[in-house]
Amino acid sequence: MIPGPIEFEPAVLQAMGAPTNSHVAPEFIECFGTALERMREVWLCPSGQPFILAGSGTLAMDTAGANLIENGDKALVISTGYFGHRYAKLLERYGADVTILNAEVGDVVPLDRVEQKLKETKYKILTFTHVDTSTAVLVDPRSIGALGQKYNVLTILDGVCSVGGEEIRQEEWGIDVVLTASQKAIGVPPGLALLVVSEKAMKVWSDRSTPVGNYYGDWTHWLPIMNAYESRKPAYFGTPAVNLVEALNVSLRSILAEGMDIRFARHRRSGSAIRAAMKALGLQQVPLADDIAANTLSALFYPNGIPGADLLREIHRSGIILAGGLHPDIKTRYFRIGHMGSVMQNDILATIAGIATGLENCGYQANASTALQTALSKLNTI
Ligand code: PMP
């Protein structure tokens, strides 16, 4: 129950273990082309350009930055934790003039502060982290997308901890790049960087006056490959991660079979059940309010006087693996629970019971039965 890599479905793992096809075999071409088409449906972005690259989520961030930034371009980074800071550093490497708006730990950056910046200065790019995995803070992409449209700024959503779990309607909400990695709510082992790019952002990229400062990630190399696979033709620039792409195709099929609206609602139910149960156990969450708390993971402070390492070890004895802290300001004071992808009601109840038992074993009075009942009522009613 960590926030990625998550647990993977047997059919996905079977695709990972199948004999590896040639990257130009007709079955693989069909599979790659279908995966690209399915990405548009999962991202809810019918006119977007999907990219599937071998690499982690950081490569997805990197390739969006490298292709859209030219030396001296102004970028506004909204940071709600560890990964916002990473995006600022990354854009600077490509010569961007970066302004960073930092939220307090557990909070979002107020929208009027963002709008004020956009009014003052003409930015080319605005980046934000939909769910910052270090704080479990959820940012509202719809209002940022609207600001991007109003001020004609390209918006990049880091959705590594959200795509396939949290609600995102890329096209309707006017977001230019939505990027993620395979190992979280997309449900595929680590190794794929996934992006869908709007027509507007592709035009900004094709109108560049300088070459992209990153050889591997340059869309000049990859756009013809994506186009070829989608037209069911062989092509080569760099060998694709064949088994991962086959696994992706399987996972995207099952995500679409569940249905995006149903999947978003299931994640909302899971998030609200975990939050309510943790509250019933007396634990305080890192996000300052429920309406800015993620549905794909939760971040909870350890109770006073309970050493974090002891608690995580006790919880592990029930077979539940949780993650420690990540945000440098509070790293030793909190832990994280991932609840995305194929995490179901029983996983959530087992996790709550495991946490309550772990707390009891550390000498903390925890009312497991109230926490479980509270969670059940959320799982069944919303
Ligand atoms: N952004 C967010 C929000 C993340 O959670 C992560 C990974 N945890 C990344 C970016 C970087 O992804 P990766 O570790 O796959 O490079």
d(CA 344, CA 379): 10
pTM tops 0.85, yes or no: yes
Q: Name the residue of 133, 166, 184 whose CB sits within 8 Å of the most ligand 1 atoms, as the mutation to test its pocket.
A: 133
Is the pLDDT at 192 greater than 60? The verdict is yes
| Distance of CA 183 from the midpoint of ligand 1 (Å) | 9
Task: Give the DSSP H or E segment for 50.
Answer: strand 49-54
Percent of the chain with pLDDT over 70: 99
Residue 381 has pLDDT above 70, yes or no: no
CA of 189 to the centre of ligand 1 (A): 13
- Tell me which DSSP letter residue 190 carries: S
DSSP annotation of 293 reads B
Q: Pairing relation of β-strands 125-129 and 154-158?
A: parallel
> What would the pLDDT profile of 289-338 be if each residue is shown by its tens digit?
999 999 999 999 999 999 999 999 999 999 999 999 999 999 999 999 99
User: Measured from the CB, is residue 133 less than 6 Å from ligand 1?
Assistant: yes
Closest by CA position to 35, among listed 259, 184, 240, 265 = 240
Tokens representing residue 377 in the block: 């009522």
Domains and CATH numbers, the chain: 10-258 (3.40.640.10), 260-381 (3.90.1150.10)
- What's the rounded Cα separation, in Å, for the pair 92 and 56? 20
Give the model's confidence band at 380: pLDDT under 50 very low, under 70 low, under 90 confident, else very high.
confident
CA of 294 to the centre of ligand 1 (A): 15
- Sign of the alpha-carbon dihedral angle for 102, 289, 164, 174: negative
Cα-to-centroid distance, 61 and ligand 1 (Å): 9
Question: Nearest C-alpha to atom 8 of ligand 1 is from which residue?
Answer: 133
Atom 14 of ligand 1 has which residue's CA nearest to it? 57
Question: Which residues does 286 contact at the CB level (< 8 Å), separation at least 6?
Answer: 105, 106, 135, 136, 137, 299, 300, 301, 327, 330, 334
Mean pLDDT of 233-243: 98
Question: With 70 as the cut, is the pLDDT of residue 130 above it?
Answer: yes
Contact status, residue 42 vs residue 164, Cβ threshold 8 Å: yes
User: Closest ligand 1 atom, CA of 133?
Assistant: 5
Question: Among the atoms of ligand 1, which is closest to the Cα of residue 58?
Answer: 16
Indicate whether residue 57 lines ligand 1 (CB < 6 A).
yes
Helices (H), the chain: 10-17, 26-42, 57-68, 82-93, 111-120, 141-150, 199-206, 219-230, 242-258, 260-280, 308-316, 345-361, 368-381
**What string of H, E and C letters represents the secondary structure of 202-250?**
HHHHHCCCCCCCCCCCCHHHHHHHHHHHHCCCCCCCCCCCHHHHHHHHH
Cα(336)–Cα(349) distance, integer angstroms: 16
- For residue 5 and ligand 1, the question of a CB distance below 6 A is answered with no
Which ligand 1 atom is at minimum distance from the Cα of 3?
A: 8
Name 323's bridge partners.
336
Instruction: Report yes or no: 164 and 185 within 8 Å, Cβ to Cβ.
Output: yes
Q: Tell me the CA–centroid distance for residue 178 and ligand 1, in Å.
A: 13
Angle ∠(60,66,72) on CA atoms, nearest 5: 140
> pLDDT band at 376, cuts 50/70/90?
very high
Best residue for ligand 1 mutational test, from 61, 78, 83, 166 (most atoms within 8 Å of Cβ): 83
Q: What is the pLDDT of residues 19-62, one digit of tens each?
A: 999 999 999 999 999 999 999 999 999 999 999 999 999 999 99
Nearest CA to ligand 1 atom 13: 57
Q: Side chain identity at 376, as an amino acid letter?
A: L
Bridge partners of 98, per DSSP, are: 75
- DSSP-derived letter for residue 286 is S
Q: Quick one: which atom of ligand 1 is closest to the CA of 134?
A: 5
Ligand 1 atom 9 nearest Cα: 57
In whole angstroms, how far apart are CA 184 and each of 173, 213, 224, 263? 22, 28, 28, 14
49 closest CA partner among 170, 159, 168, 150: 170
Q: What is the mean pLDDT of the chain?
A: 97
Half-sphere exposure of 214 (CA within 13 A, CB side): 23
382 has pLDDT over 80: no
Q: Is 158 in the pocket of ligand 1 (CB under 6 A)?
A: yes
- In a mutational test of the pocket of ligand 1, which residue from 131, 161, 192, 327 has the highest number of ligand atoms less than 8 Å from its CB? 161
Report the pLDDT averaged over residues 167-193: 98
Q: Hunting for tokens 């970028």 — which residue is that?
A: 75
CA dist., res. 35 & res. 25, Å (int):
15
Q: Residue 107 corresponds to which tokens in the numbers above? A: 């909070």
Query: 134 alpha carbon to ligand 1 midpoint, in Å?
Result: 10
Task: Please work out whether the CB of residue 56 comes within 6 Å of at least one atom of ligand 1.
Answer: yes
Using the Cα atoms of residue 53, residue 58, residue 64 and residue 66 in order, give the sign of their dihedral: negative
